[in-house]
Amino acid sequence: MGKLVGRATQGPVKIEDYALIGDTQTAGLVSSTGSIDWLCLPRFDSGACFAALLGDEANGRWRLSPKATIRRTQRRYRPGTLVLETELETDEGAVRIVDCMPIRDRTPDIVRLVQGVRGRVAMQMELVLRFDYGAVVPWVRHVDNRIRATAGPDSVELVTPIETHGADFRTVAEFTVGAGDTVPFVLRWHLSHEAPPSPIDPLAAVADTEAWWSEWSGGANLQLDDDRWRDVTLRSLITLKALTYAPTGGIVAAATTSLPEKIGGVRNWDYRYCWLRDATFTLYSLMLAGYVEEATAWRDWLLRAVAGEPSKLQIMYGPAGERRLDEYELPHLGGYERSAPVRIGNAASGQFQLDVYGEVMDAMHQGRRAGMLDDGGFGWGLQCAIMDFLETGWAEPDEGIWEVRGPRRHFTHSKMMAWVAVDRAVQAIDHFDCHGPADRWRQLRATIHAEVCAKGFDADANTFTQYYGAKGVDASLLMMPLVGFLPASDPRVQGTLAAVQKELTTPEGFVMRYVGDSSPVDGLPPGEGCFLACTFWLADNLMLAGRLDEAKELFERLVSLTNDVGLLSEEYDPVGQRLLGNFPQAFSHVSLVNTAHNLSGGVPPAARRGNGVASDQ
């Protein structure tokens, strides 16, 4: 039934005590005690109708729970699916709550089944609908034996055979479940000016949802050395699929906004958008597992989203490729565990981050190598336009991979990724039916490589640095051997690996992005958790350096951080021993999939990312 969650406790729900449900267009978070505390409808980036996650129950939630004290909680996903089962045990008996979001037809639905397991358990339901991130109390009325809540463009209906009534602007109910009983609940959203959707059979909807996910996950091609890794890797792939915006193929970075990187801190960002930086990693992990259709859809989303002037390339876009992601704050929400402000939108979308050009070019390169269906030449045309910009644009300072809100600098990782962009363009000419000024680009590739090795390397410390002239290292430097800039055997790479382990790795073995004076994040208080993706990169580097036992030990340590249903957030606090940051985080799950494959024998995928190194050394 999965890991034991344990006795229910009072106080805030930890991030790891949530599980994900979704329909590949939006998603909700369900606590270990049966409360849906976060749900945006109808899209990932729409206003939340349940926002208790970032405030309290008055900001919206849907709770199904025994009236008596919960003695034990245990939950799992049905194998290979996103159908969640939560078993709650009391002195009276036990019930099982089945939660899922059926794959969408016209409108989003949530189906919840309360099943009696043993004994007779008195239950209570509390539905608190608050539109626009918990700010708007809807008008609620009974219509044709259902509850309909409406405000502005949003209308939500609750359908259940249980008698409900209103109390203090909530919809509540009490009922008893005996062994073998099943009580269904269906919550359906629709535009308030349109007719509501046709009724659905909740039992059939759960069965259909389970069958859909089982068929999808059954197509995974996971050739892993250790069978113990299969389940957690497959769960990561399912999570990535759940974070896909099906109409366009985009994949959002996380299902949430403003979950803090430090409890009580202000580093709280909106991650319900699609980062170009994730493009290579996501596409690569999907292709490794055999999901060419999803990888192709992601590639096509990428081409549509970035179309336009290369100089105006954004680092992120909306799920359908929207460019305007204006950032603002919601003062009526107190924040997760009082971590304010709560932010909607992301001002980093307007930053200049040089590395994304490399990631876009590498994503196209990996797709071409994998034999993706031809895009009619549109992709190569876009790549040539990017190269026209990069011939001069590569020399400009930028805000870097970590989206600093301080002065622009010549970040070593950014320059390295500019090299990746040029290298992949050269390889497209050398190995595929693409045409361009190969000699000029080869010279540019050599120029960038030489500058990075000269200005981004501290010979006295024998390490590459965070930016030109800096003294500290940055975890993004671990990407050097992973993208083919230098081989793992190069003494400079080995020196950088040693510096990252010494300066950025905690006693527990997890990696910080940067620390102390090496942080250029001006205007923001210091302090955050260990960055999980960077720790996976460390495992990849150890593997490439021939330190396979160390790499596997670190990977196992990372896998142990997944919660009872296999999910990871962005960061981890080794002191508080809890997950931090937005959840679940696509970048963490992508990194888990890639590292699992990297550690699984043969020629590791990481070593095949690029093959243009020799010409520049």
Q: Which domains does the chain have, with CATH numbers?
A: 4-194 (2.70.98.50), 228-610 (1.50.10.10)
Band the pLDDT of 607: cuts 50, 70, 90. low
- Average pLDDT, stretch 398-404? 87
Where does residue 24 fall: left (phi above 0), alpha (psi -120 to 50 degrees), or beta otherwise? left
pLDDT band for position 404 (50/70/90)?
confident
Quote the radius of gyration of the chain (alpha carbons, Å).
25
Helix (H, G, I), strand (E, B) or coil at 121: strand
CA–CA gap between residue 290 and residue 155 (Å, rounded): 39
Q: How many CA atoms lie within 13 A of 531 on its CB side?
A: 19
Q: Are 559 and 566 in contact (CB under 8 A)?
A: no
pLDDT on residue 576: 93
Alpha helices in 182-248 (DSSP H): 202-217, 228-242
Amino acid present at 281: F
User: Which residues, at least 6 apart from 595, have a Cβ–Cβ distance to it below 8 Å?
Assistant: 536, 539, 540, 555, 558
Mean pLDDT of 155-181: 95
Which residues, at least 6 apart from 324, have a Cβ–Cβ distance to it below 8 Å?
none
The pLDDT score that the predictor gives to residue 450 is 98
> What pLDDT is recorded for position 518?
43
148 burial via Cβ count (<10 Å: 0-12, 13-18, 19+) = buried
> Max alpha carbon distance in the chain (Å)?
78
Helix (H) or strand (E) holding 285: helix 278-288
> Is residue 1 pLDDT above 50, yes or no?
no
Assign 609 a pLDDT band (cuts: 50, 70, 90): low
- Overall average pLDDT of the 49-63 stretch: 97
- Closest Cα to residue 22, out of 245, 273, 200? 245
For 107-125, the pLDDT digits (tens) are 999 999 999 999 999 999 9
The residues pairing with 505 across neighbouring beta strands, listed in sequence order, are 511
Q: Which of 261, 305, 255 is nearest to 279 (CA)?
A: 305
Q: Are 571 and 558 in contact (CB under 8 A)?
A: no
Q: What end-to-end distance do the CA atoms of the chain give, in Å?
A: 53
State percent of the chain over pLDDT 70: 93
Q: Is the pLDDT of residue 524 over 80?
A: no
**pLDDT over 60 at 349, yes or no:** yes
Q: Tell me which residue of 263, 232, 285, 252 sits closest to 567, measured CA to CA.
A: 232
- The amino acid occupying position 23 is D
- Choice among 25-39, 135-149, 601-615 with the minimum mean pLDDT: 601-615
Write 455-462 long-range contacts (CB < 8 A, 24+): 455/410, 456/410, 456/412, 456/415, 456/416, 457/492, 461/495, 461/499, 462/491, 462/492, 462/495, 462/498, 462/499
pLDDT tens-digit map of 356-398: 999 999 988 888 888 776 666 678 888 999 999 999 999 999 9
Omega prior to 12 cis, within 30 of 0: no
pLDDT digits (tens, 9 = 90+) for 279-322: 778 888 888 898 988 888 988 898 888 888 888 889 999 999 99
Question: Which of the two residues, 282 and 509, has the higher pLDDT score?
Answer: 509
* pLDDT of the residue at 101: 98
Provide the pLDDT for residue 612: 45
Q: What is the pLDDT of residue 361?
A: 92
**Per-residue confidence at 406, pLDDT binned at 50, 70, 90?**
confident
pLDDT for the residue numbered 514? 87
Please state, rounded to an integer, the average pLDDT across all residues of the chain: 91
277 alpha-carbon distance from chain centroid: 12
Q: What angle do CA 528, 533, 537 make, to 5 degrees?
A: 125
Binning the chain into helix, strand and coil, the percentages to the nearest 5 are 35, 25, 40
When pLDDT is averaged across residues 311-337 and rounded to a whole number, the result is 94
Q: What pLDDT sits at residue 481?
A: 95
**Confidence tier at 355 by pLDDT (50, 70, 90):** very high
For the segment 602-606, the average pLDDT, to the nearest whole number, is: 51
Q: Which two tokens stand for residue 509?
A: 């073995």
Amino acid at 192: S
pLDDT of 216 higher than 70? yes
Query: In this structure, which amino acid lies at residue 24?
Result: T
Helices 532-544 and 491-503: angle between axes, nearest 10 degrees: 140
Q: Which two tokens stand for residue 552?
A: 């596997």
Look at residues 208, 190, 220, 84 and name the one whose alpha carbon lies nearest to residue 584. Answer: 84
Residue 77 exposed, middle or buried by CB count within 10 Å (0-12, 13-18, 19+): buried
The closest of 157, 120, 118 to 140, measured between CA atoms, is 157
Alpha-carbon distance 459 to 152, whole Å? 62
> Quick one: DSSP state of residue 339?
B
How do strand 48-50 and strand 35-40 relate by DSSP bridges?
A: antiparallel
In the DSSP assignment, the letter for residue 138 is P
Residue 345: left (phi > 0), alpha (psi -120 to 50), or beta?
left
For residue 479, pLDDT over 70 is answered with: yes
Res 370: pLDDT: 80
Lowest mean pLDDT among 62-66, 145-149, 225-229, 261-265: 225-229
Q: Where is 357: in which H helix or E strand?
A: helix 355-369
Q: Would you give the DSSP letter of residue 221?
A: -
Cα–Cα distance for residue pair 349/313, rounded to 1 Å: 9
Residue 402 is predicted with a pLDDT of 87
User: What's the mean pLDDT in 28-33?
Assistant: 97
Rounded to two decimals, the pTM is 0.94
